[in-house]
Chains A and B, each alone.
Chain A
Amino acid sequence: MLPKFRPSVLRCFSVGRKAFALLLSSLLVACAPEAGPVEMAVLEWDPQKGVFELTTATIHTLDDVTALRGEAATLIGDAEIVIGPRVKLARTARELREAVLDDEGGAVEAQFVEQDGVLYPSDFHSLNLATTYYNFERARAYALARGMPPELLRGVPVYYFPEVRMQGIRGPLADNAGWFALLQSFLLFPIDEVREIPLAMNLGVIAHEYGHGLFNALVHRGSALPDYQARWCPDGICRDVRGVRMLGIVEEGFADAWAIGATGNLRFIHHSLPSEGDKRDLEPFDATRHCYTQAALEQEIRDTSRFSSTDRENYWGPRQYQIGTVIAGALYRAGKSPETDMDRVMEALLASYGARGEGSLAEVLASDATGSTFGTFASIARAVIGATDHAPTRRALCAAWMDRLAIPASELGGMCDDAPSNGECLP
């Protein structure tokens, strides 16, 4: 498909009459939309200054500049999504789509002014849309460089400012971003109270959600309704609730680590959600925020088992992010170790999702009948550590998991017997 590039078409109309006549016969060539890289003004984090600024970026993968559609994402506007009881009745992907999408929306139409060969978004939404596409392109490029198969998440739908209504929640959802497995797509919710850097303009936020998309694609094999729920919690009662809790914890922890790997910005949350950022900082080291144990998890599960189901979910909703910070912190610590780096750690993480077959998180999840195996930090650590053959990275991962999550070497299958401990989480 030829890319649509309206500014260049308009520029063609500004040539003189004679030139226009000469060019008429070759109009298709002269006015053909320009394929290839596009220079565009977007919002981007400047690592030197530590702040977001407007900058000129080259976007490589757009097929349609106005609709912001390309290999990295397909932006969709004006959709209406309802998450209600109809979802439970859906059996196929098509039925799910019909159950969830009240209005499937359509292409967005970003508007630009062109100055010195650079496209400047001419309004706030166009800037938000352009920066969103750029962020998805960068998140995808990072994932490809870490070993993501190219067919994964190609042209993934991104619902921009949809009206989302969820059963049991009053009013449409706002001020968030998410991976939405039911539609195998991303949701960028409308802005309501956020006054800081919009979430869609924050590459860290997009990379975090991309991490969820990768997890779904590889660990859940791209399933809209992963079957672990039916195995672990038949009729809504979980055989071993550790598995469900661990899934939420590792998803959020891995996604935060992925965001930091992709951006190099430890404070990426602070730019958009300052109060949330304080709870999820990976540095400086703080034992209360960065150390945890399997025993503590099981104690919390017991303590909350007496809660009503609503109170229990209200508790674990934010708590899974906090415990996830322990996992993200362990991965980040491993990435700072000598002879390795964050990119190698993220390669191991991605490989642990599914590429390594037996022992991968996908395998652990698929073979776990109750949630009791997946529900231990040791089984998660084994999958991640076992996914790299790079000895320094493996040693660093061993040390970080063992120190931060108090996992004994004996539970790590002989992979970590020589791992150095710094004892930072010891009482």
Chain B
Amino acid sequence: MIRSTLAAALLAAPAAATAAPLVSVEAASALFLRDDPQGSLYEAEFAWGARATLALEPLFPLPEPLRLDAGLLWYGASRVDGTDAVQVRRGLNTFAMPLRGGWELAWRPFDTLRLAPYVTAGPAATRTGVEYRVSDPEGLRLGLPPQVQDAADWKAGALYGAGLSVRGPAAALELVGRLEILRLHRGPSTDLSLGAGFGLAF
């Protein structure tokens, strides 16, 4: 009796399990091609981030293959450059609210993966924090401590770009991922990014 009851419960579940997940969370990483102060074409910088999205299809009567969601995106990066005597640490924290519209392809690799090319755009804001550490060798000779000073500001801008999202087999807990190319405001400059994300939708 006990076995039969469990089996019945599991058999009753599929309707709920195949309902499209509304929320996804992803770990994100990106290679940013940043305007180089020295005047060369760009300098490369790696950043980690996170993203949460909320599917908007239930709110709008969209045709089945269309995908629409709104998200919150964060990227953080930090780097230190300079000599032993003069070091500058720059930290960038970028927050964006991208809206994404895509079209799920009929073609499914391995018969299960669902691909959706998409375009995305939205507002973005970046906090740029800078810390300066100056330890003049003459100061060290005189026994003076290093000078440490910081500054920061917020700047607002936008992001836009395109990508390809992938979803695993329909389930209550789905694997999701994406590859995307963005033009993203990041404080003092607007950078091109080549990003990837991987996470879960539920």
Give A residues with C-beta under 8 Å from B: 10, 13-14, 41, 43, 49-54, 76-78, 105-115, 118, 120-127, 129, 160-161, 191, 194-198, 201, 267, 270-271, 274
**Nearest opposing residue in chain A for B132, CB measure:** A54
Bound CA–CA A104/B138 (angstroms): 37
B188: shortest Cβ distance to chain A, in Å? 3
Known: A52-B138, A124-B86, A195-B83. 16 other contacts (CB 8 A): A52-B136, A76-B39, A77-B37, A107-B39, A108-B37, A108-B39, A112-B188, A113-B130, A115-B153, A123-B79, A126-B37, A127-B88, A160-B38, A197-B85, A271-B85, A271-B137
Count of chain A to chain B residue pairs whose CB atoms are closer than 8 Å in the complex: 132
**Nearest opposing residue in chain A for B136, CB measure:** A51
Whether B38 pairs with A161 at a CB distance below 8 angstroms is: yes
B98-155 contacts to A (CB < 8 Å): 128-130, 132, 134, 136-139, 142, 144, 147, 149, 151-153, 155
The prevalent SS among residues of A at the interface is: mixed
Whether A54 pairs with B152 at a CB distance below 8 angstroms is: no
Bound CA–CA A10/B155 (angstroms): 8
The prevalent SS among residues of B at the interface is: strand
Q: What are some 18 contacts across the A-B interface (CB < 8 A)?
A: A10-B155, A14-B156, A43-B134, A50-B138, A50-B142, A51-B139, A52-B136, A76-B39, A77-B37, A78-B40, A105-B39, A109-B35, A111-B37, A111-B188, A113-B153, A115-B152, A126-B37, A195-B83
Q: B144: which A residues are within 8 A, CB to CB?
A: 49, 51
Q: B90 an interface residue at 8 Å Cβ cutoff?
A: yes
Bound CA–CA A125/B149 (angstroms): 17
Q: A110: which B residues are within 8 A, CB to CB?
A: 37
| Interface mask (B47-66 → A, CB under 8 Å = 1, otherwise 0) | 00000000000000000000
Question: Pick the contact of A121 from B40, B83, B88 — CB < 8 Å?
Answer: B88
Bound CA–CA A18/B139 (angstroms): 52
Q: B85: which A residues are within 8 A, CB to CB?
A: 52, 195-198, 271
Given A53-B134, A109-B37, A126-B37: A198 and B86 interface contact (C-beta under 8 Å)? yes
Q: B187 an interface residue at 8 Å Cβ cutoff?
A: yes
Whether B151 pairs with A270 at a CB distance below 8 angstroms is: no
Question: Pick the contact of A115 from B35, B90, B134, B151 — CB < 8 Å?
Answer: B151
Whether A270 pairs with B138 at a CB distance below 8 angstroms is: yes
Q: B147: which A residues are within 8 A, CB to CB?
A: 53-54
Given A43-B134, A125-B38: A197 and B86 interface contact (C-beta under 8 Å)? yes
Bound CA–CA A76/B139 (angstroms): 32
B139: shortest Cβ distance to chain A, in Å? 4
Question: Pick the contact of A54 from B84, B149, B153, B188 — CB < 8 Å?
Answer: B149
**Nearest opposing residue in chain B for A265, CB measure:** B138
A56: shortest Cβ distance to chain B, in Å? 10
Bound CA–CA A231/B196 (angstroms): 67
Whether B86 pairs with A121 at a CB distance below 8 angstroms is: no
Whether B83 pairs with A197 at a CB distance below 8 angstroms is: yes
Bound CA–CA A129/B164 (angstroms): 40
Whether A127 pairs with B156 at a CB distance below 8 angstroms is: no
Bound CA–CA A52/B87 (angstroms): 13
Whether A78 pairs with B38 at a CB distance below 8 angstroms is: yes
Question: Pick the contact of A113 from B79, B84, B149, B152 — CB < 8 Å?
Answer: B152
Question: Pick the contact of B188 from A51, A118, A122 — CB < 8 Å?
Answer: A122
Whether A77 pairs with B39 at a CB distance below 8 angstroms is: yes
A325: shortest Cβ distance to chain B, in Å? 19
Q: B84: which A residues are within 8 A, CB to CB?
A: 195-196
Q: B18 an interface residue at 8 Å Cβ cutoff?
A: no
**Nearest opposing residue in chain B for A105, CB measure:** B39
A61: shortest Cβ distance to chain B, in Å? 20
